[in-house]
Amino acid sequence: MADGQADMIGMGRSTLCDPELPKKAMTGHGEDIRFCISCNQGCLARVQMGLAIECVLNPAAGKEAQYGNAKITPAAKRKKVLVVGGGPAGLKAAEIAAQRGHKVTLLERAAELGGQILLASRLPGRDEIAEATSHLTRRVRSLGVEVRLSTEATPDRIRELAPDVVVVATGSSPLPPALRGNDRIKVVNAVDVITRAAQVGQNVVVFDGGESHWKFCGTAEMVARDGKNVTLVTPRLFAGFDLPPTAVPLYYERMAEYGATIITHSVVTRVQADGVVVLDVFAHKEQLLTGVDTLVWAGDNRAAGELFQALRGVVGEIYPVGDCVAPRKIDAAIREGFLAGLKI
């Protein structure tokens, strides 16, 4: 390889994610490569379940005849498209719409693009996921999309812009914890722990309030890595029930090294003066976890669909995509943004 020669080069997930990778590399367009983020969510996990292979970043994977690059053709009529939201769904919609020749403007309320991917990439071992939106950010800028950051998309502002089409990708926000703390035990949201907006004590309970994925598992690992004593409580049969199966054994190994305690098929029912009460959902028996300083609630999100509802009947052509429809994972967000871009 040192002299630039090889008898064979094998690629698996890399070309599933970007079938054009070899061509882009050979022609000096490496900056356009869509790199695999090693999530195993659409490929290996699905194969192990006997399902058709997919890729969270490439909605055309396995459906090339229907959605491959050859099917992304110029639109019959060039339209003025406004995309609201710079997370994965909005970025993907903007990319495909611009690729098809539309004039695209993207409004993002935050100071940078990426949405909740920026949050997810802060978790231990999850930095690669940032490439999901880093690539899309490069793409929309190279395709001439006008990106306006730190810009709130109000109905009045949208009417002033007078778009032909609006893609609403306003995402979702974390629901507040369903339990309250007290003078001894603080209750905080996992998102605030991830962003370091909230501080935790030395003895921490992290509760899976309906997430069962990396928000719950990653937050617990982040806290444990910081040297805290961590107890995970989940209503599922094991922690990380919704993670790709390949990730679970490695996760359990790491948490064992941190000395974390994992309590399964159980829910936190209340916080009282002397501790946190946990109920086994099968045995219907309670146990009291004492000495707890902080309860971290890793729960569901709420869809931010208000803008879409406000614009219905105001804009002739409008598409809601991603978490503003219903909070889900990145594959749904990118797929819906992709399909919206094809429809316009």
* Domain assignments of the chain as residue spans, ordered by start: 11-71, 74-175+301-344, 176-299
| Strand, coil or helix: 240 | coil
Per-residue pLDDT of 135-160, as tens digits, reads 999 999 999 999 999 999 999 999 99
Distance, CA of 18 to CA of 31 (rounded, Å): 12
59 pLDDT higher than 80 = yes
2 pLDDT higher than 80 = no
Are 74-175+301-344 and 176-299 the same fold in CATH? no
Distance, CA of 317 to CA of 261 (rounded, Å): 51
Distance, CA of 79 to CA of 59 (rounded, Å): 24
18 pLDDT higher than 80 = yes
Rg (CA), the chain: 22
93 pLDDT higher than 90 = yes
According to CATH, the superfamily of the domain at 74-175+301-344 is NAD(P)-binding Rossmann-like Domain (3.40.50.720)
Tell me what the mean pLDDT of segment 115-130 comes to: 95
Tell me what the mean pLDDT of segment 70-80 comes to: 93
Tell me what the mean pLDDT of segment 70-78 comes to: 92
Per-position b or e across 5-33, b if 16+ CB within 10 A of its CB? eeeeeeeebebbbbbebeeeeeeeeeebb
1 pLDDT higher than 70 = no
Q: Amino acid letter at 128? A: E
- What pLDDT was estimated at residue 6? 82
State the CATH architecture for 176-299.
Answer: 3-Layer(bba) Sandwich (3.50)
Helical axes 214-225 vs 247-257, angle rounded to 10°: 30
In the chain, what percentage of residues exceed pLDDT 70?
A: 99
Mean pLDDT estimate for the chain: 95
- What pLDDT was estimated at residue 7? 85
- What pLDDT was estimated at residue 139? 96
pTM for this structure? Answer: 0.93
Tell me what the mean pLDDT of segment 104-111 comes to: 98
Cβ–Cβ < 8 Å for 319, 93: yes
Q: Amino acid letter at 264? A: T
- What pLDDT was estimated at residue 154? 94
- What pLDDT was estimated at residue 313? 83
- What pLDDT was estimated at residue 3? 76
Tell me what the mean pLDDT of segment 293-322 comes to: 94
Tell me what the mean pLDDT of segment 220-225 comes to: 98
Residue 80 phi, psi (nearest 5): -95, 110
Cβ–Cβ < 8 Å for 185, 288: no
- What pLDDT was estimated at residue 105? 98
- What pLDDT was estimated at residue 235? 97
